[in-house]
């Protein structure tokens, strides 16, 4: 099962039996068997009809539509979900149950604080010239993770998470050359090449989390760390927190290995955007890098669902929300 990226102007997609046919001007049509598709990522102006959507949903494939300009998610289609409604019934009290949230949230926070450590340690071996900011970031994250494990309320955890992010980004900015103008996280729109890649990567990663949570029979809108908010899939946000440093590390590799360079980006009204060739490089690399994270998201979604449904002692297991090992 694979991913189909549709990211060219004036593409037309139609259904032909059990395959999708992709047509574009001045090129021969090409067919893709539906049975090979697990997800479709569509960006820009692509024409298709309702039969394509129905076929994807029936196949169990997911579709995410990204805006042509900023690569923001504009729509999502999910296939058939898990049929056991008891899972959602067990989940619905969770956002209002402070005791249950305090069983889960410290583990998630510790996982998020520990996740960057391996990245910064590996980076230190390659960039000894940046020893000071990297050592400071490592020490800061280690101390905060130890404190988070003993936190007694959600407010404290949020404060520790924020302090960890500040210390981590101070170290991360030292890894990128000054020519990329990366001085920390910015978005909507991203203003430099690094943030352009981070924004697109986080959007795709969030889509994968929504898909995994939905497939496990849970409601993506209701989390245990992120508060419910209009239009936000808080549970998906929870699950990707320990994975963000993994994506940051991969984005760093794109620039370190010069797979992406300054000419792969364009500036448009203050926004820094990946150009067409840059997006092709990004998507190809993302598909090679992503499989272990997809397995992690499916595994953690099902562990959470089984625990909520009273069928698994998940909280006694080691490695919950630990993404530092891969």
Dump pLDDT digits (tens) for 110-138: 888 888 888 898 888 888 888 888 889 89
Dump pLDDT digits (tens) for 135-167: 898 988 888 888 888 777 778 888 888 888 888
User: Would you state the pLDDT for residue 186?
Assistant: 84
- Per-residue CA distances from 249 to 57, 71, 173 (Å): 33, 20, 12
Whole-structure pTM value: 0.89
Closest CA to 271 of 76, 75, 67, 10: 67
Closest CA to 249 of 67, 126, 154, 99: 126
Polymer length of the chain: 326
User: Would you state the pLDDT for residue 130?
Assistant: 86
The two tokens of residue 201 are: 């990567």
317 — pLDDT class (breaks 50, 70, 90): very low
| Whether pLDDT at 315 is above 60 | no
Mean pLDDT of the chain: 86
Closest CA to 194 of 208, 177, 207: 177
Dump pLDDT digits (tens) for 27-56: 888 889 998 989 999 887 888 888 888 888
Q: What is the DSSP string of 159-221?
A: HHHHHHHHHHHHHHGGGS-GGG---S---SS--SHHHHHHHHHHHHHHHHHHHHHHHTT--TT
CA atoms of 11 and 65, how far apart (whole Å) = 14
Dump pLDDT digits (tens) for 226-280: 877 888 899 999 999 889 989 999 999 999 999 999 899 999 888 899 998 999 9
Report the CATH fold assignment for 2-77. Ribosomal Protein L15; Chain: K; domain 2 (3.100.10)
CA atoms of 65 and 62, how far apart (whole Å) = 10
Dump pLDDT digits (tens) for 176-215: 999 998 888 888 889 999 999 999 999 999 999 999 999 9
User: Would you state the pLDDT for residue 166?
Assistant: 87
CATH (residue range 86-316): 1.20.120.920
Contact status, residue 86 vs residue 72, Cβ threshold 8 Å? no
Q: Where are the domains of the chain?
A: 2-77, 86-316
């Amino acid at each position: 099962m694979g991913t189909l990226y549709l990211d060219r102007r004036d593409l037309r997609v139609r259904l032909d039996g059990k395959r999708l046919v992709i047509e574009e001007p001045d090129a021969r049509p090409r067919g893709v068997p539906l049975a090979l598709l697990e997800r479709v990522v569509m960006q820009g102006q692509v024409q298709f009809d309702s039969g394509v959507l129905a076929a994807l949903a029936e196949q169990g494939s997911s579709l995410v539509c990204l805006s042509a300009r900023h690569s923001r998610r504009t729509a999502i289609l999910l296939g058939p979900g898990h049929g056991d409604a008891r899972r959602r019934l067990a989940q619905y009290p969770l956002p209002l149950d402070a005791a249950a949230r305090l069983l889960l949230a410290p583990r998630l926070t510790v996982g998020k604080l520990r996740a960057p450590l391996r990245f910064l340690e590996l980076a230190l071996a390659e960039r000894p010239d940046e020893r000071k900011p990297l050592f400071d970031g490592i020490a800061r994250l280690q101390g905060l993770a130890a404190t988070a494990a003993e936190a007694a309320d959600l407010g404290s955890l949020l404060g520790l998470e924020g302090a960890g992010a500040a210390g981590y980004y101070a170290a991360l900015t030292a890894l990128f050359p000054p020519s990329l103008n990366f001085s920390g996280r910015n978005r909507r729109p991203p203003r430099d090449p690094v943030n352009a890649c981070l924004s697109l990567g986080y959007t795709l990663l969030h889509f994968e989390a929504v898909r995994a949570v939905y497939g496990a029979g849970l409601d993506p809108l209701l989390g245990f760390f992120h508060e419910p908010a209009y239009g936000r899939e808080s549970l998906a946000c929870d699950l990707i927190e320990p994975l963000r440093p993994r994506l940051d590390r991969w984005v760093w590799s794109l620039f370190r290995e010069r797979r992406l360079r300054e000419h792969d980006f364009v500036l448009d009204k203050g926004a820094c955007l990946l150009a067409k060739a840059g997006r092709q490089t990004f998507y190809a690399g993302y598909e090679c890098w992503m499989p272990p994270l997809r397995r992690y998201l499916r595994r953690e979604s099902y562990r959470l669902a089984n625990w909520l449904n009273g069928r698994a002692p998940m909280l006694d297991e080691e490695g919950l929300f630990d993404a530092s090992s891969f």
